[in-house]
Each structure stands twice: as structure tokens, then as C-alpha cells.
Chain A
Amino acid sequence: MLEITDLRARAVGKPILKGIDLAVRPGEVHAIMGPNGSGKSTLANALAGRADVEVTSGDMRLEGASLIGLEPEARAHLGLFLAFQYPVEIPGVSNMEFLKAAVDSRDAALEREAMSAASFVKSAREAAERLQLTPEFLRRGVNAGFSGGEKKRNEILQMLLLEPKLAVLDETDSGLDIDALRTVAKGINAFASETNAVLLITHYQRLLDHIEPDFVHVLLDGRIVETGDKSLARKLEADGYARLA
């Protein structure tokens, strides 16, 4: 599904990723953990193609296709999805309109038949309900005036509708109370299947109480320094990252 080889990248002129190797197969959930400044978000942004992250060497392949040099929208069309740590607001553009534009863009790029407005509205409402969001929520401006929890649930809603192959979730657990965390985790678990993969980027292991990862990687100073199963996450929680430094 995803193959990252010796990825090196700079952000704001500074080397941040210093040789990342990672392989994710279909059906797997991987967690990437690490302290602040270890390069977690830079990795997510490098995958998604943010202009302020400059990949200097190495490769990232999604189902065999290299992402290097592709525009962000082309990566999205290949099936890459990034749930943002800080989702931005777009006032005046309704959630529904935004979601429809995203789904239409994907279908046009993949030369699929466009979804009818009626069936789109139906699936959007169903997805919203699964995340305990009211239909009214779909009429509001994208993230405009949303609470922290609503913003994160909105990211998951977009993921459910776009059905990506690889979902990268950047600190989706941050700023959530326990109920919201459970709802979000439920959404992610409902999404994960044998044909897609999830990359969870997180600082704490509490999200991993609700979503069971197949692998846990520890990112430190731009490198993956340790890989293990879910017990590694618990160990980190108990001992902290200092032990690995």
C-alpha cells in the first residue's frame, strides 16, 4: 500500500526527516509516536505534498505510484487522505458543498460517473449520523465556529465519504474529550478494512486504547528508532521517550 524509502525532507529550511523507511500493507493500522518536534507532522505533510515541506531525497510510493513531485490534489486522487491536526475554517462554504466538490473532483479524476445529488446527500447524512453529527451540521460553513471535537469529527466525516486507500491521521486525538475520542475512534474503526490502511500519528497512547494498531513506530529526531506491536505504546506511556534518546 505505502512504501517509504530513505525519505529525507526539510521544513522552513531545516532538515527534519533524516531517512525514514516504512512499509504499510493493506489492512494494517500503523501508529507513529514521538515527542514534539520529532518530525511526525512533517512526515504527514511530506506525504500530502504541502509546499513548505521540501523532500530532498528518498521516495514515497502509494500502491506503486511515486508521490514525489505530484500536486496535492493528484495525491488525493490516488487515494491519500490527511486528517489535519488543526482543521481550518472556510466560512460561507457549507460542509455539504465542500464535501460534494471533493467527491466530484475525485470521481472526475478517476473517470467515475458523478454521484447524483440525492445519493450524495443520503450517504453524507448517514456518515454524519455515524459520527453523531446532526444534518444541520452539514449545512454549516466548513469548520466555521465548530468546537475542537466537531472539527475532528468533521475530518473523519470527510474520510468516510472520500473512502481513501491510505488515511493519515495527524494527532486526531488531540483536544478531544473522552466521549468525542470514542466517537472518532469508532469512525476510524468503521473505516479500516482489508483494502485500505491507516497511519495514526499521535503523541499519546490513549487513542490506541480504542484503535488497535498492528505496528507502533517511534519517531525520534527524524528517524524511526524502534518498531514494535501495541505493547510498545504502553511502554512509552510508562517510561516516556527519554529512554530512547
Chain B
Amino acid sequence: MAEGNETVHERLSSEYSAGFVTDIESETLPPGLDENTVRQISAKKDEPGWMADWRLTAYRRWRTMRPPRWAHVEFPPIDFQAISYFSAPRGDRPRSLEEVDPEILRTYEKLGIPLHEQEALAGVERPSVAVDAVFDSVSVATTFRETLREAGVIFCPIADAMREHPDLVRKYLGSVVPRADNFYAALNSAVFSDGSFVYVPKNTRCPMELSTYFRINAQNTGQFERTLIIADEGAYVSYLEGCTAPMRDENQLHAAVVELVALDDAEIKYSTVQNWFPGDAEGRGGIYNFVTKRGACLGARSKISWTQVETGSAITWKYPSVVLRGHGSTGEFYSVALTNNRQQADTGTKMLHIGRDTKSTIISKGISAGQSQNSYRGRVRMNPAAEGARNYTQCDSLLIGDRCGAHTFPFIESRIPSAVVEHEATTSKVNDDQLFLCRQRGIDPEKAISMIVNGFCKEVFRQLPMEFAVEAGKLLEVSLEGAVG
């Protein structure tokens, strides 16, 4: 049935709609990285002295480290001296939305990200979302800061937080992902330029969804953002993250670090729709998405839930994890990773059970099409004190066509007999018979494939906040769509 598969491949050539470039003047540091670069970044951000030292320590550790090689991905070595580590729109940092360069506002408008508070407030049917917009290396706008402040919630660029809330930042920055955790985390710790900071006070339910939208625009620039979210006792917050980049022939590096901290009875729900430029059909260009995301359930009965929909990036190396320290805490990981053309993804999670009666759930859906390679990598560890801990893992792969690969690398370590670990895995194919059934019923092949793939991802989409679920469904459709029509 080679012919049938050809039709599958034809339908999969995708169009990347976020691939435009915004023409603005930028202030960019020349390529290269040394201690001076680190000091310059810290100075540009007007950071307190302790922060410059923190970065320099990270830089020195990074110099001694090697990039990880264990992932199931292939790419030529990255020349870290050829990358520029800071790029920002020229001019003073805008203090309000009115001061933001209209070109930048138009960029977010084109991407469908609401940066206007008034509009969002007027739209009754749509619940408000507060947005922190990060353009290249800096945050250009954060909406609804006032509304949130009234509720006691701090939502601001992390650079502001260092000045305005130094105690919180000093206490928690690097507490979940230590500076020398891994090569890319160390690099991020040295050069990170912006990102979001969230603090939700005790017994507070954050009144709206928070989100950060990352946009890489400048050429030859890496994006290294840092997100820190702290939910105090009994607090709840739902946070969304989106990302896009222009289509460029060269690869660009995105090495972010996200740290989540949940105290007693707190809950953090973190959702990502990742749509970095995946490169073209021949595998030219695209983002290297090398990201460290980790949450710490420090408090008893706390909960951290990661949901990710990964459709972009040339290479994805990402394992949002949860350290389950508090008694009775819960970690969740829901993931859809779709790779097409020559994309490579090595993604999964770690659930480290330390406290007793901790629970974790892992639902991973990998979809491979074209000549892509898609790997799930997971680690579930039950420490000796994790009495009564439970994990359930379900790991499903869907193959479209016969030139792609799906791989599963689950690692399970249990050091306590009372812990229960369950693992289920399936691999299936969108086959010609399914496609023919749909077409015989009058459904065109593109619609058929997107329906089959969406059906496969249903359990994960259910976890996303509603607007995001719709966006994710559309994104899958676009990522799978042919150039026709």
C-alpha cells in the first residue's frame, strides 16, 4: 500500500503561519560568551549585585560541563560563541502598553495574543487572560498587573521581581533547578535575560489565567528565559505558555528554565503550547528547544500538573518533572508531542517520589509523521521513604506513514515495596484502511487525519484550559495540513 502512504505524506506538508519577521530596531550584543558578556547582561537589566555573582557562578560551572548526549536526537555541535546572548527592541523599556512599539503590538496581534486590557475586558464571552509578552530577550508588556495586584498576586517580568521582591527571588531562584543541574540549565542561569515571575499568596485563587508568550524575532540570537512560579499555602494558579519564531534557515537555540514551587495544599497547573519554527521540509532551520522544567511539591497535599502540546521546534529536549516531597502531594504530566518532516523530539518527564502517599500520573501521546523521530523518555523513582506512593504511566505512540520513528525509554526505580508503579504502552498507525474508511464516508483525507490525531490526543486536550484546547486542536490541524487549500 505504498501509494496510500504517499497520499498520507502529501497531506502532511505543513505551513508555518507564525514565521514572519517583525522589522524593528534592536539592540543586540555581539555574538560570543565570556564573563564580560554575563556582566553586561546583568548590567543591562539593572540587576542587584548579588544577581551578577549568581550568574557568574553559573557561568563558571557551565564552562566545565558538556552537553548531554544521551537523548535520541542528532545535530551538529553548537558553536556557543556564534550566538548572541542578548537582543532587545531599541529604546527605553516601555512603562505601559501605550509606550510599546506599535510594530511589536502588531506582531502579537498577528499571532492572536491579546495585549489590550480594554478589549479583553469588553469581550464578555472570553474570560480574561493576563499576558506577559517576551520579545527576544525582554518582556515588552505585562497586562492586568493592577487587577492582579489587588488580589495580592504578583505577575511581572523576573527582572522587576529581582528589584521589587528580592527576598522571594533569592529564596527560590535555583531552588528547584540548581544552577549546575545540567549543561543547558547552567547556560540559562548565566545568561537568562527575562521571563515571568509569579507569586500567589496564601489561600488565594488567582483570579485569572496567567500566560507568557515567547517570541524569538532577532537573527542569530538565543532565547534564554527564566520562569519562577510560587504558590503559597492553599494557593491556586493556572499558567499558560506559548511560543513562536520566524522561519529562518539557521537553527536558533532556546534554552529556558522553568521552576515551580507549591507549598502546603497549593496547586499549580502549567500548560504549554509550543509552536517554535520546526524547520522546513528538508530539515533546514528551526529552533533547538532545550528546556529544563521542574516543579517542587514542597508542601503536604500540594499538586503540580504539567500539560504540554509540542508541535514546533527542529529538536525538542524537554522533561517537565515533579519532585514530590510533601506528604500526599500529586504530580501530573500530560503530553502531546507531534513531529513531522525531519523534526526530532526527545521528551517526557521525571516523577521523583520522596514523601509518603505521593501520587503521579503520566499520560504521553507521541505522534510521528514524515521522517521525524519522536521519543518518550520517562523516569519514575520511588525513594525509600515514599511509603504508599503510586504512579500510573500510559504512553501511546501514533505513526503516520512508514518513514518516521517512535521510541519509548521508560525508567522505573522503586526502592520501597509498598509503592505501586503501573506502566502501559501502545503503538499504533494511522493506516490506509482507516483513511479509506473516512474517505469512503465522504471525509477528505486532511480532515480525516486531523480527526484521527485529535481523537488520539483527547485525554491530554481535556486537561488544557478551554481556549487553549481549541488552539491546540487547530495547531495540530495546521501542523498536519497539506499546502493545498
Interface residues of B (CB under 8 A from A): 1, 3-4, 7, 428, 431-434, 436-445, 447, 451-452, 454-458
> B residues within 8 A CB of A105?
441-444, 447
Given contacts A90-B438, A162-B441, 11 further A-B contacts (CB under 8 A): A76-B440, A76-B442, A88-B434, A92-B452, A97-B451, A98-B438, A102-B442, A102-B443, A106-B442, A109-B442, A158-B441
Bound-state CA distance A71–B4 (Å) is: 12
* Tally of contacts, chain A with chain B, CB under 8 A: 85
Nearest-CB distance from A216 to chain B (Å)?
A: 25
Q: Are A71 and B451 in contact (CB under 8 A)?
A: no
Shortest C-beta distance, A126 to chain B (Å), equals: 19
When C-beta atoms are compared, the residue in chain A nearest to B426 turns out to be A91
Can you list 16 A-B contacts (CB < 8 A)? Answer: A51-B432, A51-B436, A71-B439, A72-B439, A72-B440, A73-B442, A88-B434, A89-B434, A90-B452, A91-B456, A92-B452, A97-B451, A102-B441, A102-B443, A105-B444, A158-B441
Residues on B with C-beta less than 8 A from A109 are: 442
Contacting B437 at CB < 8 Å: which of A52, A84, A91, A141?
Answer: A84
| 10 nearest A-B pairs in the assembled complex, by CB-CB distance | A92-B455, A93-B455, A76-B442, A102-B441, A72-B439, A105-B442, A88-B433, A51-B3, A73-B439, A106-B442
A122 at the interface (CB under 8 A from B): no
A141 close to B455 (CB less than 8 A) = yes
* A binding-site residues for B, Cβ under 8 Å: 48, 50-52, 71-73, 75-77, 81-82, 84, 86-94, 97-98, 101-102, 105-106, 109, 141-142, 158, 162
Q: Is the CB of A92 within 8 A of B458?
A: yes
Q: Could you tell me the distance between the alpha carbons of A98 and B438 in the complex, rounded to whole angstroms?
A: 8
Q: Which of B3, B442, B445 has the most CB of A within 10 A?
A: B442
A52-B1, A52-B3, A98-B451 given; A88·B443 CB < 8 A: no
- Residues of A close to B428: CB separation below 8 A: 91
Complexed CA–CA distance, A93 and B440 (Å): 16
Shortest CB distance A89–B (Å): 8
Q: List residues of chain B with CB within 8 A of the CB of A141.
A: 455
Q: Are A87's CB and B455's CB within 8 A?
A: no
Contacts of B445 in A (CB 8 A): 73
Which of A51, A73, A94 sits near B1, CB closer than 8 Å?
A51
Nearest A residue to B457 by beta-carbon distance?
Answer: A92
Distance in angstroms from B444 CB to nearest chain A CB is 5
A93 and B441: CB pair below 8 A? Answer: no
Contact A72 B451 (CB under 8 A): no
Please give the distance in Å from B362's CB to the nearest CB on chain A.
18
A49 to chain B, nearest CB (A): 8
A98 to B439 alpha-carbon distance, docked (Å)? 11
Contacts of A106 in B (CB 8 A): 442
Report chain B residues within 8 Å CB of A102. 438, 441-443
B441-A50 in contact (CB<8A): no
The answer for the CA separation of A162 and B443 in the assembled complex, in Å, is 12
Tell me, in angstroms, the Cα distance from A167 to B451 when the chains sit together.
Answer: 25
A52, B4: Cβ atoms under 8 Å? yes
Instruction: Give every chain A residue within 8 A of B441 (Cβ-Cβ).
Output: 76, 98, 101-102, 105, 158, 162
Q: Which residues of A lie under 8 Å from residue B7 when comparing CB positions?
A: 51
When A101-B443, A162-B441 are in contact, do A90 and B436 touch as well, CB less than 8 Å? no
Find out whether the CB atom of B451 lies under 8 angstroms from the CB atom of A87.
no
From residue A151, how far is it (CB to closest CB) to chain B in Å?
Answer: 11
CA distance A71 to B432 in the complex (A): 14
Contact partners of A89 in chain B: CB under 8 A:
434
Q: Within the assembled complex, what's the spacing in Å between the Cα atoms of A117 and B61?
A: 60
Minimum CB–CB distance from A88 to chain B (whole Å) comes to 4
Task: Choose from A50, A93, A101, A162 the contact partner of B436 (Cβ within 8 Å).
Answer: A50
A9–B379 alpha-carbon span in the complex (Å) = 54
Query: What residues of chain A lie closer than 8 Å to B440, measured between beta carbons?
Result: 48, 72-73, 75-76, 81-82, 84
Q: With a CB–CB cut-off of 8 A, which chain B residues contact A81? A: 440
Most B Cβ at <10 Å: residue of A76, A77, A97, A162: A76
Residues of chain B with a CB closer than 8 A to A75's CB: 440
Contacts of A91 in B (CB 8 A): 428, 455-456
Residue in B3, B439, B447, B454 whose Cβ sees the most chain A Cβ within 10 Å: B439
B4, B432, B437, B455 pick with most chain A CB within 10 angstroms: B437
A90 touches B437 (CB 8 A): yes
B461 to chain A, nearest CB (A): 10
Q: A86 to chain B: which residues have CB within 8 Å?
A: 433
A179 to B440, CA, bound (A): 28
A86 to B432, CA, bound (A): 13
User: In the assembly, what is the distance between CA of A22 and CA of B281, in Å?
Assistant: 47
Contact check, A76 vs B451: say whether CB atoms are below 8 A apart.
Answer: no
Q: Is the CB of B455 within 8 A of A90?
A: yes
| Chain A residue nearest in CB terms to B456 | A92
Which chain B residues lie closer than 8 Å to A71 at the CB level? 439
Say which residue of B1, B437, B456, B458 sits within 8 Å of A87 (CB atoms): B437
Task: Let me know if B436 and A72 touch, CB within 8 A.
Answer: yes
Complex partner residue of B431 from A51, A76, A88, A162, CB under 8 angstroms: A88
Which residues of B sit under 8 angstroms from A77, Cβ to Cβ?
442
Closest to A161 in B: B441
Contacts of A72 in B (CB 8 A): 436, 439-440
In angstroms, Cα B454 to Cα A72, docked, is: 22
Given A88-B434, A90-B437, answer yes or no on A162-B3 (Cβ-Cβ < 8 Å): no
Closest to A54 in B: B3
Closest Cβ neighbor of B365 among chain A residues: A92
**Please, how many angstroms separate the alpha-carbon atoms of A101 and B451 in the complex?**
9
Max chain A Cβ within 10 angstroms of own Cβ: one of B432, B440, B452: B440
In angstroms, Cα B6 to Cα A52, docked, is: 12
Does A90 contact B434, Cβ atoms closer than 8 Å? yes
List residues of chain A with CB within 8 A of the CB of B437.
84, 87-88, 90, 142
